[in-house]
Structure 1
Amino acid sequence: MSTNRRRAGLAGAAALTAVLALAGPAAAHAEVEADKAQALAENVTLTFVSEAESASAGFREVRVVLPEGIAPADVSLGKAPKGWTLKTTADGYVVGGPALKTGVDAEYEVKVRQLPDADEVAFKTVETYGDGEISRWIELPTDGEEAEQPAPLLKLKAAAPGATPVAPAPSASPAPSPSPSANASVSVSAATATEAAEKKKDDDGSSTGLLVGGAIAAVLVLGGGAWWLVKRRASATGG
């Protein structure tokens, strides 16, 4: 009788343990927390943790796709593993550097200029290990069912009264330079003006030379005619 009761007690305990395990939340392999989890909050520090699962290599980098309402230019790196840096991408950023030791979780912080006006935001995450292994935590819950590889989710409180979206961050852009066509037009105009001036100068010089030459020729002709006339008169008188 005591043996049967003991077996029944063990079976009940095992069943209860199984039920509790199934009812409990699934282990989070990538998660995010905020120091101000509120819609439209400004200068928010987000802390990301990626749980190490590989038994052969450590994390090398973590890529995050930002939710709508957060621009890559509005994110800056805070605390991070030694040697890790942040590089922005078209839809988010990549944090990485020297591979961590095997079994060490990847934990880092980023500062966000402002959170979007939403109830929750998802940060799809792709983790890469030193040996090339990749883990993707990019799935979103559908129809109330938990995803197998869920993206880190951050639930936000309602925005504070009077909170509004800030203006987009100014982006540095080089000063506009004159268009090539404008430069070309200026150069051509200048060259044309110079050429015209030189041509006019040459024409003026040529005209002056012709006038001087013509005057000299006229003087010579008149002088020769006068000499011939004087000589003829002299000959006639002598005769």
Structure 2
Amino acid sequence: MLTVMWQRIAVAGAVIAAVLLVPGVAAAHISVTAEDAVPGRTARLTFRVPNESDTASTVKLELVMPAATPIAFVALKAVPGWTATTERGPLPAPVDTPDGRLTEAVTKVTWTAAAGGGIKPGYFEDFELSAGPLPDVGTIAFKALQTYSDGEVSRWIEEPAGGQEPDDPAPVLHLARTAPGSAPPAAVPAAAGSSGTGPLPVVLSAAALAVAVAALVLTVAGARRAARDANRRPE
């Protein structure tokens, strides 16, 4: 009897350990959100950059603008403690936009932290820019390079394929669709460090953990009662 009880305790403990290792708390990566991202309009894009290192600070962010779906106008919001620069270049082929034919555009934005500054371990920073008109597509991927003070570079450049998120995903902006003359719906911003799947994995993980803890408590209580009953039996 006691052997069966302790086997159940071991199983419950294994369930708890598995729940704690659920990918709902996977490593954070750079994300982009916008409340007014609609094709043909200008939007305010927010790039959230969490620091993943335990010992080094993030000191540079390089954002590569999409060449296949270029954006004609880009304006940056100042970030205290950082300097920003933009690079322009010719496009592989002219692109027709509501503002006319586009032959060159901003190809890269770089934010550099002041000496001794940057994003410290355990913190994040938001980098904002106004961009438009946005292309008539469903999603826009921005490749990003995150440089740390120890020289390490995280390359967030992989685009999702086959419904699976890659190991080093690029920030992807999802554009809303609206009927002509209607107000654009607000996009739901992803949580910091999330993979864009929403809060469901966290809720399920919490529920599974609660069930596993309750099972463990009941199993331990049952084992104790069985042990007391065994000690009270006359020999």
C-alpha distance in 1, partners of 2:148/2:23?
31
Amino acid corresponding to residue 137 of structure 1 in structure 2: W
**TM-score, normalised with respect to structure 2:** 0.58
Q: Secondary structure at the match of 1:11?
A: helix
Q: Secondary structure at the match of 2:12?
A: helix
Report how many residues are paired: 161
Instruction: Give the drift of 1:20.
Output: 7.7
C-alpha distance in 2, partners of 1:16/1:115?
46
Which is bigger in relative contact order (C-alpha 8 A, separation at least 6)? 2
Instruction: Give the drift of 1:141.
Output: 1.7
Structure 1: gaps spanning 5 or more residues: 164-239
Task: Find 1:106's aligned residue among 120, 125, 132.
Answer: 125
Q: Secondary structure at the match of 2:8?
A: helix
Identify, as 1 or 2, the structure richer in strand: 2
Percent identity over paired residues:
34
Contact 1:78 / 1:110 at 8 angstroms: preserved in 2? yes
Change (3 A) 1:53 1:118: same
Mapped pair 1:118 → 2:137: yes
Instruction: Give the drift of 1:16.
Output: 6.0
Instruction: Give the drift of 1:133.
Output: 1.7
Amino acid corresponding to residue 50 of structure 1 in structure 2: V
Q: Secondary structure at the match of 1:5?
A: helix
Change (3 A) 1:142 1:4: same
Amino acid corresponding to residue 4 of structure 1 in structure 2: V
Identify, as 1 or 2, the structure richer in helix: 1
**TM-score, normalised with respect to structure 1:** 0.57
Instruction: Give the drift of 1:74.
Output: 1.3
Q: Secondary structure at the match of 1:94?
A: strand
RMSD (CA atoms): 2.7
Match of 2:209? none
Match of 1:94? 110
Match of 1:55? 54
Q: Per-residue displacement from partner, 1:136-171 (whole Å, max 9, x unpaired)? A: 0101122222200111112222244269xxxxxxxx
Computing the radius of gyration from Cα coordinates, the structure with the larger value is 1
Contact 2:35 / 2:44 at 8 angstroms: preserved in 1? yes
Instruction: Give the drift of 1:48.
Output: 0.6
Q: Secondary structure at the match of 1:115?
A: coil
Mapped pair 1:70 → 2:80: no
Q: Secondary structure at the match of 2:144?
A: strand
Amino acid corresponding to residue 8 of structure 1 in structure 2: R
